[in-house]
Amino acid sequence: MRKVILHYHLFKNAGTSLDAAFKENFSEDNGEWVTKEFPAQPATNREKVREWILDTQNAKCFSSHTAIFPVPTFEEIEVIPVIFYRHPIDRIASAYSFEKKQGGTGFGSVLARNTSLAGYIETRLSLQYDRQCRDFHSSRLSTMYSQEFGDELTRSLKAINELPFIGLVEEYDYSLKQLNEYINLNTSFGIELEVKKVNVSNREILPLEEKLEKIKKKVGEQLYEELLKANEIDLKLYDLIRDRYHAKS
């Protein structure tokens, strides 16, 4: 059976660093590592992801920011999904920093260049359809299952229990070691993933608690509390994934 990796590259979740590690093992020039983006409409998105994998015969590692769950299934192809999770509040601050620097005319970039972190958060929270600052991870993970399986938290919990590998950005080196072992156990790729720190928005190395305290001071206690409330699901998922990593290490 053909086996392929599908990296669900979530924005500001160390995905660029992970792709750099993959590209050390799978040649981009030879089409072994490929990337593509897809429309937001779920049914169309899923069908086009299936076609992409079927039609790209030489590829071993696929990466997309926009591929929607569930993981596609085939009779003769096994898809190995890979996704990384990050503390949601730290991820939001990193997204703001990245969008402020990157240029471009996208909504997030223009907003970040013209306001503070607090203004960025307030604006995005005011838009009910915008999930960049509101349970971002669960908005993606919950798409593994239809609404008949339950609310967003229930579906997200089911997803993290079913997905074979979820990396933790705060435990990136250990996660990469675990991913390397998992892929080599389940494929004949024989890869050796190495830590590559690429596209890092904030190069200041601080413990997570200190980073969160700095964010709280920047945005103010009231907005910070609103942000915590808007990310209740993501924070529950983060605690669960973090506890699993701590139990392993």
Domain residue limits, the chain? 2-248
**Which residues is 83 bridged to in the sheet?**
8, 166
User: In whole angstroms, what is the distance from residue 101 CA to residue 128 CA?
Assistant: 25
Q: What is the pLDDT of residue 204?
A: 66
Q: What are phi and psi of 72, to 5 degrees?
A: -65, 145
Q: What is the pLDDT of residue 81?
A: 98
Which CATH architecture group holds 2-248?
3-Layer(aba) Sandwich (3.40)
Q: What is the pLDDT of residue 94?
A: 96
Q: What is the pLDDT of residue 90?
A: 98
Q: What is the pLDDT of residue 198?
A: 64
Q: What is the pLDDT of residue 192?
A: 95
If you ran DSSP here, which 8-state letter would residue 133 be given? T
Taking each helix axis as running N to C, give the angle between helix 15-23 and helix 172-186, from 0 to 180 degrees, rounded to the nearest 10.
Answer: 40
Cβ pair 133, 227 in contact under 8 A: yes
Q: What is the pLDDT of residues 89-126, one digit of tens each?
A: 999 999 999 999 988 899 999 999 999 999 999 999 99
Q: What is the pLDDT of residue 225?
A: 98
Q: What is the pLDDT of residue 103?
A: 81
Residues in the chain where the model's pLDDT stays below 50? none
Q: What is the pLDDT of residue 195?
A: 87
Q: What is the pLDDT of residue 67?
A: 98
Q: Which amino acid is at 178?
A: Q
Q: Which amino acid is at 219?
A: V
What ranges make up the beta strands (E) of 157-237?
Answer: 166-168
